[in-house]
Amino acid sequence: MMELGLDITDAQLKEMEAHLYDIDFKYAAEEEKKTRHDVMAHVHTFAVDLIIIRDGLDILLPKLASSIQRLAQFAEQYKAQPTLGFTHLQPAQLTTVGKRACLWIQDLLMDERAINRVRGDLRFRGVKGTTGTQASFLQLFNGDSLKVKKLDKIVTEMAGFERSFVISGQTYTRKVDVEVLSALGSLGASIHKICSDIRLLANMKELEEPFESTQIGSSAMPYKRNPMRSERCCSIARHLITLTSNAMNTAANQWMERTLDDSANRRMTLAEGFLSADSILVTLQNICEGLVVYPKVIERHIKQELPFMSTENVIMAMVKAGGDRQECHEQVRVLSHQAGAVVKQQGLDNDLVERIKKTPYFAPILPILDSLLDPNTFTGRAPEQVMKLLMAICCL
């Protein structure tokens, strides 16, 4: 305003600059008590939400990138480690430990893209006045519309924004909050899924989050190694996810040019959204830095299930050796049911392979039977897929 000719002194500007980063919560409380207007109390303590949102996103993005980087290193290390895949939480065809981690990475990459887009789309409200018409500023400059537009541009640039909204009511559109919290809520969903997978794998003793030598897993059961970090992430992520609907309800209830019922709500919702996202990102990074894999446990689980999955390979090998497909199918079906009964009814290991070896009908393929059961032949292009995704990350 001073630059554009209004009567403002250097001393006034220096006083404002000296208190730029002061947040006097006691004074804000006193202002609200005096004015009975929480927004004015907020204004009097010198804060601007869009700047806070922008800076908050700038804090979160590097932390998200760090988690992606840690998971990428983990995925490359275990890109070829076969492991049971699960659909419906039931054993399915094999995948690899690294490939599963890439499912997590891919979701986080989508979150990084969404948050970056929100960050790039942010506009400043600028100087628009009480209902967005800039009428009061037009009066300040005696009807000089060019000076009003220049003031809007200068303030926007000084606040660190390239663009401002052309149209606004008394506030910037609350759709901005919807976009911001939708991106953060989506990140919460991704981290919840990742940490839920880790918790399930910890139950099977195939994978564990970091566990300190002096850490206590349970107050009552000393032997336990509960995945407490992952549980914490899931807990806070669930809260973060719910905040998206809150932002949508606020935007939906923004009557005309503005109502006041958004103010207290937004100060909780935005703050909790960013704090929740920051908390789970910091914890996720810690988890990803110290994930522990137990290949021997994974191999034992594969051995329990792979014989059933390999039956198609056995049938095809017998057909190539001159056997009848239908006859072979019946032989395998009978032996599979017998082995399944041993597992389910007696609680013993899967002995299908031993039954096949003891059945004279399968003599023609016994020399290649072990190769038919090699877990590495059941993972398809998983290692290649891992490397392709990781190469794509390097190009970002």
Q: Say whether 42 is catalytic.
A: no
Q: What angle do CA 273, 276, 280 make, to 5 degrees?
A: 140
Active-site residue identified among 19, 136, 145, 218 = 218
In sequence order, which residues have a C-beta less than 8 Å from that of residue 206 and are 6 or more positions away?
83, 293, 294, 297, 298, 301
Contact 114, 186 (CB under 8 A): yes
CA distance to 9, 80, 107, per residue, from 177 (Å)? 36, 42, 22
For the question of residue 88 being annotated catalytic, the response is yes
Q: Is 117 left (phi over 0), alpha (psi -120 to 50) or beta?
A: alpha
Helix locations, the chain, DSSP H: 10-18, 25-35, 38-44, 49-77, 97-121, 135-140, 145-158, 175-203, 228-252, 263-289, 295-309, 311-320, 325-346, 352-358, 369-372, 382-394
Q: Which two tokens stand for residue 142?
A: 């005696």
Distance between CA atoms of residues 248 and 243, nearest Å: 9
Catalytic site positions: 88, 218
